[in-house]
Amino acid sequence: MIDILICEDNAALCNGIKEIIEMWSQKIGEEVRIGLCFSGKSLRNHLEYEQRPDLLFLDIKLGDENGVEIGDYIREQLKDETIQIVFISSYTQYAIDLFKLRPFDFLIKPVNYKAAEKVLLKYLEIKQRNEEQKYYFVFQNRKQVFRVEQSDILYFQSNGRKISIITDTPRKPALEYYGTLSDVVGQLDKTRFWNIHKSFLVNVEYVTNIGYNKFSLKNGEVIPVSRSRRRMFSIGFYNILIHMGTASKHTASPKAPHHPRITPVRRSPPKGLGHQPQIQCVAPANSYLRLFSRDARRADEGKS
């Protein structure tokens, strides 16, 4: 699905572009959702209060506003770099003004099928490539390229220049190559992987217990949390629970938005680790933070 928005003050031209996109969609079998705006004001309202498009076809000379000004509004005020803007105009002298707005492409009126198809195919290729990178981690070792599903990875560990990938797949439990964690981060889904230590990136979907200074994983391994990142990840892990839907049935009413309630699934600690603090009680978020920072620390210190 590609969300497309067309903003053109000439209704006939606007609907003409819509028909071209619909023809392209039917031809290649790609689902599209197309919205129309006929003025700069209606476009601003749409961008502020409704779902923003993936691809925006924007006329430069609108009746009430300049398309370049709206492009600047999108990039500078909304701080939105994800909307891909295709400017439309009868003139070509806007190239320098458009460059700073990082447009996806430029179409000359009247827009024909061939020109629009070229833009749409280019966008679709980039979209598919980004989606593939989102779900797979790709690396090179000894001139061979490998890819691993991110959902199968428990954690990454850096040891000098060597990166180890520990997976939940029995066939390939561990993979190694030369690289840096900073390069790894760029490929990963940021809601799933957390850099809890300078040497570790952990997939939070495999975390079973949280101690004051450690995360316990499904496979029984314990990963340290660096001192400087403990509070940040106490908050971060709670937010991930919300993102994954773990806490969705236990959130507080709208009248008390600052006190969500959580009840993650109870899990037993791995053998040999003794009692570990569990995030099992139904508690407001601020109580959870106290649990993490106080009770977990006492439990860990009591075993040392």
Identify the band that residue 265 occupies on the pLDDT scale cut at 50, 70 and 90. very low
| pLDDT tens-digit map of 213-251 | 888 898 899 999 888 766 666 555 555 444 444 433 333
Burial class (CB in 10 A: 0-12, 13-18, 19+), 136: middle
Section 178-187 average pLDDT: 87
Section 142-149 average pLDDT: 85
Q: Is the model's pLDDT at 261 over the cut of 70? A: no
φ/ψ of residue 139, rounded to 5: -145, 165
> What pLDDT was estimated at residue 302?
52
Identify the band that residue 82 occupies on the pLDDT scale cut at 50, 70 and 90. confident
| pLDDT tens-digit map of 104-133 | 999 999 999 999 999 999 999 988 877 766
C-alpha span between 118 and 88 (Å, rounded): 14
pTM over 0.95: no
Instruction: Classify 241 as helix, strand or coil.
Output: helix
User: 11-28 and 113-135 helices cross at what angle (nearest 10)?
Assistant: 60
> What pLDDT was estimated at residue 32?
96
Section 34-52 average pLDDT: 93
C-alpha span between 207 and 241 (Å, rounded): 11
Say whether the peptide bond before residue 103 is cis (omega within 30 degrees of 0).
no
> What pLDDT was estimated at residue 204?
84
Written as one letter, the residue type at 200 is F
Q: Is the model's pLDDT at 272 over the cut of 70? A: no
Section 166-192 average pLDDT: 84
CA distance readout (Å), 129 to 126, 144, 149, 186: 5, 20, 15, 14
Query: Alpha helix (H) ranges present in the chain?
Result: 11-28, 40-49, 67-72, 95-99, 113-135, 181-185, 230-244, 285-290, 296-303
143 Cβ partners below 8 Å, 6+ apart?
Answer: none
Six-digit token pair at 42? Answer: 């209606």
> What pLDDT was estimated at residue 212?
76
Q: Is the model's pLDDT at 93 over the cut of 70? A: no
Q: Is the model's pLDDT at 297 over the cut of 70? A: no
> What pLDDT was estimated at residue 236?
54
Domains and CATH numbers, the chain: 2-110 (3.40.50.2300), 204-304 (no CATH)
User: Which residue is it, tokens 């599903």?
Assistant: 149
